[in-house]
Amino acid sequence: MLRLVVDDLGLLWPDILQKAPGRGSYLCMRGGCFSGMSDKRLGVLYRKCHISLPQWSGLEKRLNATIEQAVLGQMIRLKSLASVGRDAVMHQMWKNAPLLLILVNKSGQALQRQVMSAVEKRQELGLKTIPLNDVSEAWLMRVFQREKVSVVTLPVSRQTEKLQQWCVWHGHLKGCKVSDGE
């Protein structure tokens, strides 16, 4: 659930850290709840928070920007713990620590097969591996300041759980069908 707060003009703003003052409401960020989001579905908040309508398209842009900023900030904070590149990632895969695996969809098929085979073997051994496949390569290139980044691992922690959640939310946003008037 993502907290939304209402400003003095009746606009909804995402409160990803859930610390902003003021009246708020919660938006379900699961794929099923989020698909088909529209001003009509936001209208329920009108009585509770006195929001101004229409505003779904503006809220969607604010959500994207806020979540992207949160993901990039979290990745930068976790950068020193990351293993970047095939060799470094494969080395980490054979350790017993739980891992968050970030694999760019546009990476080569050979790399994907190799990494996913290692993930399967880890899972057979009962080792926790959380794959994240919907992360922008541009984000990774910006965070790690490299020309190309296809695969990264991070040790699982509370910070990586937040990163995972925000990446999932971003994926739901990208996949949603926006309908302003329905």
Q: What is the pTM of this model?
A: 0.78
Q: Which of 46-55, 61-70, 154-163 has the highest mean pLDDT?
A: 154-163
Give domain limits for the chain: 2-75, 80-157
Condensed to tens digits (0 to 9), the pLDDT of residues 66-109 reads 988 998 999 999 999 999 999 999 999 999 999 999 988 788 88
The class of domain 2-75 in CATH terms is alpha beta
pLDDT of residue 26: 76
Higher pLDDT, residue 48 or 159: 159
Query: Binning pLDDT at 50, 70 and 90, where does residue 51 land?
Result: low
Higher pLDDT, residue 157 or 60: 157
Identical topology for domains 2-75 and 80-157? no
Q: Does residue 112 carry a pLDDT above 50? A: yes
pLDDT of residue 165: 87
80-157 is classed CATH 3.30.1330.30: yes
pLDDT of residue 182: 28
Q: Write the DSSP string, the chain.
A: -EEEEE-TTS-EEEETTS---S-EEEE--SHHHHTT-BHHHHTHHHHHH---SS-HHHHHHHHHHHHHHHHHHHHHHHGGG-EESHHHHHHHHTSSS-EEEEE-TTS-HHHHHHHHHHHHHHHHTT--EEEE----HHHHHHHHT-S---EEEEE--HHHHHHHHHHHHHHHHHH---BS--
Condensed to tens digits (0 to 9), the pLDDT of residues 133-158 reads 768 888 899 999 999 999 999 999 99
Q: Does residue 179 carry a pLDDT above 60? A: no
